[in-house]
Every structure is written in C-alpha cells, then in structure tokens.
Amino acid sequence: MEPPSGTALTVIMVCLTVATGVLDAVSFLALGHVFTATQTGNLLFLGFGIARQGDLSVVTTVVSLGAFALGAAFGARVESSLAARRRQWFPVALATEAALLAAAAVTAWEPGTARDLTLGQRCAVVGLMAVAMGIRNVTAMRVSVPDLTTTVETRAMTALVSGSVLGRDRKLGYGTHAVPRRLMSVGSMFAGGLLGAWLIGLGTRPSLVLLLVAVSVAATALLVPGLAHRQNGEE
C-alpha cells in the first residue's frame, strides 16, 4: 500500500524535517560536534578532523557516517521488499526510525549531562541516531515529495530563491505554486534546530529530547495507515 499523498504527506514530511533539526541540534550541541542526519557536514568534519583542525572527533564522525550508510542499506532492502509484497512500508519505516531513536534515548540516559557520557556511549548514541537517519533518507527519497527531503535544505533554499521573483527562473519553478512548500521546507528545518537548541539550552537532558522525537515519529507511524486508507476510500 502506498503512503498518503497530497497535503497529508506534505504535512508529515514537514514534521519529519522539524524532527531532523531537533536531532542534529542534540548530536551537535550535546554529543560532540557531529551530525547524524546532515552527512555533508560530517564529510567536512572528517576532513577537518584528519587535518587536526577545529578540535573535532574523527571517531564519532566516522561512526555517524558508517551508521548512516548501514541505515540506508537496511532501509532500502526492507522498504523495497515490503513494497514489492504490497505491504505498508512507509509506516514500518517510521516505526523502525522511532524504535532506534528510543534506543538512542535509553543509551544516552545519564543522571548528569551528556558530557558525562563515555566515548563508547556517545558513539553508540550517535550510531543509533545515524542508522535511523539513514533509513529516513531512503524513506524520503521513496515518497519523493519535491523540496522536502527532510534532511538537506541546500537544494530547497536554492530553488526557493531561484524560482522566486528574485531569480525568476521558470525552469526552477518561477510562476508556479512551489514557493510555499519550499518555504515550509527551509523554515521547518530552522524551527527544528531552534527548538532543539532551545531545549538543550534550558538544560533538558538529551535523552529526553531524543525520546520526545521518537514518540512524535511513532505517533506519525500510527496515523499513516488511517490517512492512506481514508484517501483510498475517497478515490
């Protein structure tokens, strides 16, 4: 069964983009200057770390990159297999992501702050989060909502400006109704990062923030079958 479409799917992808911003805020601000979703940044961090500049951890960056690749491979196999059997691959992917994030929250649980975590614990948390984000990227690519990859905003920002009255590039959407969607994409990532940083700044335990995101993604997974069934019924 295919996932919901139209406005319902757009709203889901916007919410997942917010979740991405929160997750990367946690990983970068609380787990040692590493991303778990924005792997472009990690590739740069790895180069900086190898060059011994910026006091960046090569270990956690390598863990994140490797775990992300593992998640992408796992997600592709599972989701394509379920789709071939006409099973509901979209909610399964979201539920798996939520479970991994919940496991990361449990692993990150510490009476003190995230700085009290050992290197092994930080690597485990980062690894679980990155696997979840690898799966998420496969999921986002499979549903293929324009401008809403949920983890990368460079293309959406470029398209937003180029397809607006500033760029006036018709090949990039000028004169269409794509601007609101692109604004939501860029704005939701910013909002997620702001929310995550705000929660961390308040002294909220990273494990609680991770758990909050896990619960929200799990709730989305539970809602998806009903939305898809309703749309199919209307058709």
Q: Which residue ranges make up each domain of the chain?
A: 6-225
Find out whether 74 and 135 touch, Cβ atoms under 8 Å. Answer: yes
- In this predicted structure, the answer to whether residue 113 has a pLDDT above a threshold of 60 is no
Question: Which band of pLDDT confidence, cut at 50, 70 and 90, is reported for residue 93?
Answer: very high
Of 82-96, 144-158, 170-184, give the lowest mean pLDDT range.
170-184
Fold of 6-225: Growth Hormone; Chain: A; (1.20.1250)
The model's pTM: 0.92
Question: Which band of pLDDT confidence, cut at 50, 70 and 90, is reported for residue 165?
Answer: confident
d(CA 80, CA 182): 28
Find out whether 17 and 190 touch, Cβ atoms under 8 Å. Answer: no
Of 59-63, 86-90, 157-161, give the lowest mean pLDDT range.
157-161
- In this predicted structure, the answer to whether residue 23 has a pLDDT above a threshold of 80 is yes
- In this predicted structure, the answer to whether residue 174 has a pLDDT above a threshold of 80 is no
